[in-house]
Amino acid sequence: MRIVFAGTPDFAVPCLRAAARHGEVVAVYTQPDRPAGRGRGLAPSPVKRVAQELGIAVEQPENFRSAASKATLRALQPDLMVVVAYGLILPQSVLDIPAHGCWNVHASLLPRWRGAAPIQRAIQAGDRESGVCLMRMEKGLDTGPVLLSQSLSIGAEETGGQLHDRLSMLGAQVLADGLGLLRAGILPVPQPQPEEGVTYAHKLDKGEARLDWSRPAVALADTVRAFNPWPVAECQLAGERLRIHGAVALDQAHDAVPGTLLRAGREGLDVACGEGVLRIRTLQRDGGKAITAADFLNARQELLRA
């Protein structure tokens, strides 16, 4: 087979390695180099770095609107295009170029959590299950029929970063299974997505990171997990702005105003919520690094009287 791979972030790297295992990837498409780091110099995407390591040609068009960009892809004569977190919308004229169309590895159990941030939205919503779908792409946003899927359980304290890494590896496994079938001359049977159960995983916004203490503690704990490592939940507490890296919900009744620091101890900072109590275990002060609640209290011992 002649495979063209399109992807950009770390999530796509295991899938690229799986697709390239038999030397069939003839080109890799990825986003143009972007400014990064303190010097804001142009930096290649994780997918580009691995493609160069593997000796695969790299293409970085701004988009696929021009006839030249489509002609370049067509000249590669791809049997299949594999798309994983590429970051560009592919028009129908591009989807039609590969002989077997375009496959997408999506980090949710479709039709739940179509869109940009399925991993974080699943945790934020309190889902107990997630997974990966290998989907045949069509013009709609993650609406194509599913070829293969695999599910996994979300851990009670699993963060967005941890689930990201597990789904990334699971995606590579599902893609490898699909490619294995195609090599054997077996095209996975496309299963149309059901019309019921559709939800959209909208792109994460840094403005969502501020915790609203009037909400239930369970919902806030899920938000903290979902937003770790980015954008990281934050709050105003004990007279300073804190970023919250780890917290758990306690099923405790209280009559305090939401946002009140109820107790402070080595096990955590207990804050009143609309329902229950949020125990903050790991936090970060402005300009500092993530520390335990115990380390924070070493500098703020007056809070131990709370």
Annotated binding site for (6S)-5,6,7,8-tetrahydrofolate: 108-111
Is residue 172 within 8 A of residue 13, CB to CB? The reply is no
The 10 Å Cβ neighbour count of residue 259 is 16
What whole-number distance in Å separates Cα of residue 121 and Cα of residue 201?
Answer: 6
Omega prior to 14 cis, within 30 of 0: no
Both tokens assigned to 224: 């903290």
Residues annotated in the binding site, as ranges?
Answer: 108-111
Return the structure tokens found at 154: 């979300």
Cα 156–chain centre separation: 18
CA gap 61, 181 in Å, rounded: 31
Considering only CA atoms, which of 116, 51, 109 is closest in space to residue 86? 116
User: How many angstroms separate the CA atoms of 268 and 279, rounded?
Assistant: 6
Query: What number of residues does the chain have?
Result: 306
Count Cβ neighbours within 10 Å for each residue of 87-120 and write b for 16 or more, e otherwise: ebebeeebbebbeebbbbbbbbbbbbbbebbbbb
